[in-house]
């Protein structure tokens, strides 16, 4: 079994570390060296250099990240968007076509609709709830299907099992953005996905102090993607690798707490007369609750809700809350709250937002590690005034 054990909690602490601690250090040292002695590498990609993603800090993280999702390989990147964009750029060529889920992370949405479109790579949106409608979107040049574990900010859960098997049946590469669930709650390779991508900026690092990303999955795909990334230059600095590894060690403890806290807060909000609607896959009222229960080990720390009233009511609520920071991003130790119409989805037109179901009074909440009762008391007072 070895030091990494067979459970995720143990892997988070030990997987990937050198078998013999370096100089006896129980914590992986930072190798802050851009280049390393030439040792007979036959290929450009095997030279040791920070941009080539292969310093000891990168390699230790790659092993850990792969172990967490029971995958073959992993690549750590300079940001979540670096991971997402390199997957598309490495695996798709001009003339190719792919399928993407309807409600995507804003950065991914604009990358696909603007940058990839400019390269002659086309796509169609698929409806995650209706696998029967996907086949007619296929073309001879369709190469990939791309989904998100939970959509932002409505926390929709697509039929992910169907996505992976649809890809297998039609020879497509299946890719999923697993940022919102984290490997604690969902491990895409176990469901047949070829690749998962993460913004490690969020839960994996968990402390809102670095930006990082990862691609995890099948070894031959990760190698191809790594070679493209070596050219694009989006490697993670060794010190950020060290911080990400340190953050990962507490992921299971943090995520377990956030899963529980978010469920309690979602239940409180659902029962509150000034709240119109709560979106949280852990609630029995969520349209995909049964599906989420089958897929996930926990429902994560993200939820969103609509306040009764207009934009003024929503803005007043944001002014009144005292504990959460009003700030974009998510998955940190501190609770963060936003109004997506003015943050993550401000790049969309009001019509596009309406079509996606993102109302102007929708509030998105990332539950931190504060006491659940303090957060509930804070919401109570903010809703009272």
Ligand X SMILES: *Cc1c(COP(=O)(O)O)cnc(C)c1O
Range in contact with ligand X (rule: CB under 6 A) among 198-206, 282-290, 335-343, 358-366: 198-206
As a whole number of angstroms, the distance between CA 364 and CA 355 comes to: 18
Among 147, 172, 211, 356, binds ligand X (CB under 6 A): 211
Range in contact with ligand X (rule: CB under 6 A) among 88-96, 175-183, 227-235, 284-292: 175-183
Residues, the chain: 385
Catalytic residues: 51, 105, 177, 202
Tell the burial category of 205 from Cβ atoms under 10 Å away from its Cβ (0-12, 13-18, 19+).
buried
Q: Identify the sign of the CA torsion 201, 202, 206, 208.
A: positive
Helices (H) and strands (E) in the chain, counts: 14, 12
Alpha helices in 339-371 (DSSP H): 350-356
* Beta strand 122-126 pairing with 142-148: unpaired
The residues with which 83 forms a beta bridge, in sequence order, are none
- Footprint on residues 322-351 left by ligand X (CB under 6 A): none
Of 268 and 325, which CB lies nearer to ligand X in the complex structure?
325
- Answer yes or no whether residue 217 interacts with ligand X by CB under 6 A: no
Q: At closest approach, how far in Å is the CB of 292 from ligand X?
A: 16
* Beta strand 325-326 pairing with 362-366: unpaired
Among 48, 62, 64, 202, binds ligand X (CB under 6 A): 202
- Answer yes or no whether residue 203 interacts with ligand X by CB under 6 A: no
Residue closest to ligand X (Cβ)? 80
Q: Residues touching ligand X: how many (CB under 6 A)?
A: 16
Long-range contacts of 35-40 (CB under 8 A, 24+ apart): none
As a whole number of angstroms, the distance between CA 94 and CA 66 comes to: 30
As a whole number of angstroms, the distance between CA 232 and CA 211 comes to: 17
- Answer yes or no whether residue 177 interacts with ligand X by CB under 6 A: yes
- Answer yes or no whether residue 167 interacts with ligand X by CB under 6 A: no
Range in contact with ligand X (rule: CB under 6 A) among 50-58, 167-175, 194-202, 235-243: 194-202
Range in contact with ligand X (rule: CB under 6 A) among 78-86, 112-120, 158-166, 229-237: 78-86
Of 84 and 383, which CB lies nearer to ligand X in the complex structure?
84
Among 31, 105, 203, 280, binds ligand X (CB under 6 A): 105
- Answer yes or no whether residue 81 interacts with ligand X by CB under 6 A: yes
**Closest of 367, 253, 110, 32 to residue 123, by C-alpha:** 110
What is the binding site for ligand X (CB under 6 A)?
A: 79-81, 84, 105, 107, 148, 152, 177, 179-180, 199, 201-202, 211, 213
């Amino acid at each position: 079994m070895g030091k990494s054990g067979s459970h995720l909690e143990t892997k988070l602490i030990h997987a990937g570390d050198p078998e013999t601690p370096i100089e006896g250090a129980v914590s992986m040292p930072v190798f802050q060296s851009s280049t390393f002695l030439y040792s007979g590498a036959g290929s450009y990609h095997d030279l040791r250099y920070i941009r080539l993603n292969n310093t000891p800090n990168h390699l230790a993280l790659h092993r850990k990240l792969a172990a967490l999702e029971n995958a073959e390989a992993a690549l750590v990147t300079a940001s979540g968007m670096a991971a997402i964009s390199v997957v598309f750029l490495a695996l798709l060529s001009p003339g190719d076509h792919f399928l993407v889920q309807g409600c995507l992370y804003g950065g991914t949405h604009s990358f696909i609709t603007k940058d990839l479109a400019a390269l002659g790579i086309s796509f169609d949106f698929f409806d995650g709830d209706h696998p029967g409608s996907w086949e007619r979107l296929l073309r001879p040049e369709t190469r990939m299907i791309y989904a998100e574990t939970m959509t932002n900010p409505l926390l929709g859960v697509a039929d992910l099992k169907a996505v992976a098997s649809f890809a297998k049946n039609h020879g497509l590469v299946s890719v999923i953005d697993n940022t919102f669930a984290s490997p604690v709650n969902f491990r895409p390779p176990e469901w047949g996905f070829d690749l998962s991508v993460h913004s490690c900026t969020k839960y994996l690092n968990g402390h809102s102090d670095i930006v990082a990303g990862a691609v995890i999955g099948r070894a031959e795909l990760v190698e191809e993607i790594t070679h493209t990334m070596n050219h694009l230059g989006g490697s993670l600095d060794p010190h950020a690798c060290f911080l990400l590894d340190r953050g990962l060690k507490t992921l299971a403890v943090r995520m377990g707490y956030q899963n529980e806290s978010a469920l309690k807060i979602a239940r409180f909000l659902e029962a509150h007369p000034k709240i119109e609607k709560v979106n949280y896959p852990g609630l029995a009222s969520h349209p995909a609750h049964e599906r989420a229960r089958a897929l996930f080990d926990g429902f994560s720390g993200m939820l969103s809700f609509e306040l009764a009233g207009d934009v003024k009511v929503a803005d007043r609520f944001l002014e009144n809350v005292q504990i959460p920071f009003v700030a974009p991003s998510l998955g940190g130790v501190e609770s963060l709250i936003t109004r997506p119409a003015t943050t993550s989805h401000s790049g969309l037109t009001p019509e596009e937002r309406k079509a996606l179901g993102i109302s102007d009074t929708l509030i998105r909440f990332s539950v931190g590690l504060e006491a659940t009762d303090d957060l509930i008391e804070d919401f109570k007072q903010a809703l009272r005034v």
